[in-house]
Structure 1
Amino acid sequence: MSERIGKIFKHFVVAAFCAIVVVTLVQVFMRYVLSSPLTWAEELSRYIFVWAIMVSIGIGVVDEAHIRLNMVTTRFGKKAQFGFYLLGQVIMVAFNVILIVYGARLSLQNLSVMSPAMKIPIGIAYAGIPVGALVVLFFLGVDTWKKTQAYRGDKND
């Protein structure tokens, strides 16, 4: 199931970056060919970018694409390596809980503030922060579950 959810988020990110490219190309065409620039294009691209990046962080957890410094940890046994892994997961969970709490607070505080060009609440753009952190938490949980099961399986062999 987590693979399907990961695929959905990957499709979302691809669609978001395609939308950014299309909006930017239309903006360039309107500005330089028709001499009638779109006032909202840059703002929309920026907001889509924030959402895409925040969701991409969760995809990085799924694909194990984030940097890990394991020069020291590989010198220890499997039990200690797993302990370091769990410590890293706890730190990432704590950081993402902070992002959720303060990102949600920031988003809710800015729901009454309208964006200059599109006239939508800026809180919608800021909502990408807690939503992305929730995505990361979900995939951290899935990753931790899988690695714990694998560790237990290796231990029983």
Structure 2
Amino acid sequence: MSSGSFSRAALKLLHVTGIVLFIGMVSLVLAQVVARKFFEPLVWSEELARYVFIWVAFIGWVIATHNQSHIRISLITDRAGPRLKLALGLFANLSVTVFALIFVVKGIKLVENNLDIETITLFFDFWLVYAIIPVSAIAAIVVLIADTIALLRGHHAEKEIVL
């Protein structure tokens, strides 16, 4: 399997996982509302929906990093020449990589600190909730490294997002 096809498969897995988790989260909240109104409340559903939301957010971070769909202020880059545009792109990637490295270190510490602490109503360890933080940060770093290599090789194309 080539690195390109592996990358596409990993991205597809992220999309599918994010979609399934999002649908599950919405279904949980809807079930909680219906159960509270007509039956007995599902005491565990709100907590699980909160944890699923955390996972969806961090999976979304990796997807948005890959798609270059984070909010940007393009005032300078729109007017910059190719060399300045390259320098700004490298600076942006380096900045986000440093941010992601902090998330790796702090996320691992958070996982370690929660190895033996259980969730309130679901009775599984909290580290499972927080494991997405270092995992998604490492995935974002891999995406940023690939983007930086493409940028240096001149194969990088900025994606225009029009609202």
Q: Deviation of residue 151 (structure 1)?
A: 5.1
- Structure 1: gaps of 5 or more residues: 153-157
Confirm or deny that 1:5 pairs with 2:24: no
Which letter does structure 2 place at the counterpart of 1:72?
I
Which letter does structure 2 place at the counterpart of 1:31?
R
Which letter does structure 2 place at the counterpart of 1:33?
F
Aligned to 1:149: 153
Alpha-carbon contact 2:65-2:144 (below 8 Å) kept: yes
Aligned to 1:19: 24
Alpha-carbon contact 1:51-1:132 (below 8 Å) kept: no
Aligned to 1:102: 106
- For 2:80 and 2:67, the matched residues in 1 are separated by 24
Runs of 4+ in 1 over 3 A off after TM superposition: none
Confirm or deny that 1:55 pairs with 2:69: no
**TM-score, structure 1 as length reference:** 0.89
Which letter does structure 2 place at the counterpart of 1:25?
L
The structure that is helix-richer by fraction is 1
Q: Share of identical aligned residues, percent?
A: 28
- For 1:117 and 1:132, the matched residues in 2 are separated by 26
Deviates more, 1:137-146 or 1:75-84: 137-146
Residues matched between the structures, number = 151
Q: Give CA-to-partner distance per residue, 1:90-124, whole Å, 9 cap, x none.
A: 11111100100011101110111111111111121
Equivalent of 2:80 in 58, 73, 76: 76
Alpha-carbon contact 2:89-2:151 (below 8 Å) kept: no
SS at match of 1:115: coil
Q: Deviation of residue 56 (structure 1)?
A: 0.5
- For 2:78 and 2:34, the matched residues in 1 are separated by 53
**Backbone CA RMSD of aligned residues:** 1.6
Q: Give CA-to-partner distance per residue, 1:63-99, whole Å, 9 cap, x none.
A: 1111222212333320111011001111111110010
Alpha-carbon contact 1:24-1:45 (below 8 Å) kept: yes
SS at match of 2:78: helix
Aligned to 1:155: none
- Aligned CA distance change for structure 1 residues 21 and 95 (closer, same or farther; 3 Å): same
Aligned to 2:97: 93
Aligned to 2:161: none
